[in-house]
Amino acid sequence: MQRRRRGDRMAVNAEINVVSLIDVMMLLMIVFMIAAPMMQGGVDVQLPKADVQPLDAKTGLVVSIDRERRIFVDRTEVTLEELAGSVKALTAQKGSEGVYLRADGVVNYELILQVMGALAAGGVENLGLVGEPLEARR
């Protein structure tokens, strides 16, 4: 083995070690794969199951009613009166005339009809009720 003298310089190593960068990238990918389903769609409601066909994904205003009878437009809680007064502006802002109504399975029929009436009073003509499809029949 040869000793280095004071005047000798070491050769510059210009290689980048990417192994640690790949490890970090894989870890972030796993975190996002786990977190992405949790970041979906707004208010937590247990949709009723019915023999329904899935629709194409469309953009529209989503009105949700949770099991505590609270009304949400996207993720913002509103009262029934606020919904009726602002639904026209909200649909114009969203850029769609369609409204999707998501209601928890335990919500009574009276409240659903009241919300539908408030939406109709606000000028909504295209209303869709969202449900969970039944399990595949064997």
Over residues 36-64, the pLDDT tens digits come to 766 655 667 777 777 767 665 567 788 99
Q: SS in 3 state form for the chain?
A: CCCCCCCCCCCCCCCCCCHHHHHHHHHHHHHHHHHCHHHCCCCCCCCCEECCCCCCCCCCEEEEECCCCCEEECCEEECHHHHHHHHHHHHHHHCCCEEEEEECCCCCHHHHHHHHHHHHHCCCCEEEEECEECCCCC
pTM: 0.61
Using 70 as the pLDDT threshold, list the residues of the chain that sit under it: 1-8, 37-43, 52, 54-58, 96-97, 136-138
Does the domain spanning 49-133 belong to CATH 3.40.718.10?
A: no
Q: Where are the domains of the chain?
A: 49-133
